[in-house]
């Protein structure tokens, strides 16, 4: 058994070297590079950075708020205390808050309404970690964002409008890159359209930034890179765009990556 894997290992290395040799001038593939970095992390530390955020998020999830409650009392879409697969069905409409919420917004809402925190007491990094923890229960889950409630349909329509909304001194919108040039590269970064599964990798640890990025963080990064100031966190633009992107990815039958993902 051991010998087989050794032989296989040598054969793979040789194949890899041959590939590298024949490719020569080929620019670095960001996805391959991320997987290489991920492997290095595993070999060096025995743990991935995303797992550290998940651990931190778990502690925060079971921390009692001013009301004496933990986030176990929060309904994330499948009833209080249920975490399995909830990330894959969000954003959705919540009758208690009367709005469509994605996971981070839902956490933000429950920390106030269930746990009794004041908005200014809620740290963004804590919401990020809790998002990583809850999302880890939907690792590789099939996406199931299907707008049905009128408020969800309204958010989908708003998201589609924002997707095409050209603004700022770079004259940009999302569609001009992600739809029209899906499969091509911005510098070295490959572009994906929603129907190609855009959004499947968040929340993720980005080794270039050495930070955990949630879907809202990633959308904020997009806006800033096209010369538009990022919206305030938990605001409707994020939720609308997320509904639109994930609903389109759901239609095409995509699943989430290992969550939290490891990426550049």
Residues in contact with another protein by the rule CB under 8 A? 25, 27, 154, 157-158, 161-162, 164-173, 175-177, 180-181, 184-188, 191, 223, 227-232, 235-238, 240
Four-residue CA torsion sign, 106, 122, 139, 195: positive
Report which DSSP code applies to 80: B
Q: Minimum distance from CB of 236 to another protein (Å)?
A: 4
CA distance 53 to 51: 5
Contacts (Cβ under 8 Å, ≥6 apart) of 220: 230, 231, 233, 238
Alpha carbon of 115 to those of 69, 108, 141, 171: distances in Å? 5, 10, 28, 43
Q: Minimum distance from CB of 230 to another protein (Å)?
A: 7
Our CB check for another protein shows the closer of 56 and 102 to be 102
Our CB check for another protein shows the closer of 218 and 259 to be 218
Contact 121, 232 (CB under 8 A): no
Number of CB atoms found within 10 A of residue 208's CB: 11
Q: Minimum distance from CB of 97 to another protein (Å)?
A: 14
CA distance 13 to 9: 6
Q: Minimum distance from CB of 172 to another protein (Å)?
A: 7
Instruction: Write phi, then psi, for 261 (nearest 5 degrees).
Output: -80, 165
Contacts (Cβ under 8 Å, ≥6 apart) of 31: 190
Q: Half-sphere exposure (CA, 13 Å, Cβ side) for 81?
A: 2
Q: Minimum distance from CB of 21 to another protein (Å)?
A: 17
Our CB check for another protein shows the closer of 54 and 172 to be 172
Contact 94, 152 (CB under 8 A): no
Our CB check for another protein shows the closer of 93 and 133 to be 93
Q: Minimum distance from CB of 264 to another protein (Å)?
A: 13
Catalytic residues: 222
Contacts (Cβ under 8 Å, ≥6 apart) of 90: 76, 77, 101, 102, 103, 106, 145
């Amino acid at each position: 058994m051991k010998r087989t894997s050794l032989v296989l290992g040598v054969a793979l290395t040789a194949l890899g070297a041959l590939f590298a040799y024949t490719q020569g001038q080929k620019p670095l593939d960001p996805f391959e590079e991320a997987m290489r970095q991920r492997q290095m992390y595993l070999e060096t530390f025995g743990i991935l950075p995303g797992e550290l955020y998940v651990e931190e998020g778990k502690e925060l999830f079971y921390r009692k708020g001013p009301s004496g409650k933990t986030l176990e009392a929060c309904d994330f879409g499948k009833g209080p205390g249920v975490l399995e697969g909830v990330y894959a069905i969000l954003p959705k409409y919540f009758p208690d808050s009367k709005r469509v919420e994605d996971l981070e917004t839902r956490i933000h809402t429950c920390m106030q309404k269930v746990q009794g925190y004041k908005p200014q007491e809620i740290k963004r990094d804590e919401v990020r970690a809790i998002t990583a923890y809850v999302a880890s229960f939907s690792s590789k889950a099939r996406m199931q964002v299907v707008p049905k409630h009128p408020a969800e349909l309204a958010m989908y329509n708003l998201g589609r409008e924002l997707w095409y909304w050209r603004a700022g001194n770079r004259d940009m919108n999302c569609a001009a890159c992600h739809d029209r040039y899906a499969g091509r590269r911005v510098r070295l970064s490959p572009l994906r359209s929603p129907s190609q599964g855009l959004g499947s990798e968040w929340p993720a640890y980005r080794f270039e930034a050495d930070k955990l990025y949630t879907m809202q963080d990633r959308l904020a990064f997009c806006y800033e890179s096209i010369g538009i100031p990022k919206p305030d966190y938990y605001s409707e633009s994020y939720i609308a765009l997320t509904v639109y992107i994930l609903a389109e990815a759901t239609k095409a039958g995509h699943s989430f990556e290992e969550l939290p993902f490891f990426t550049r």
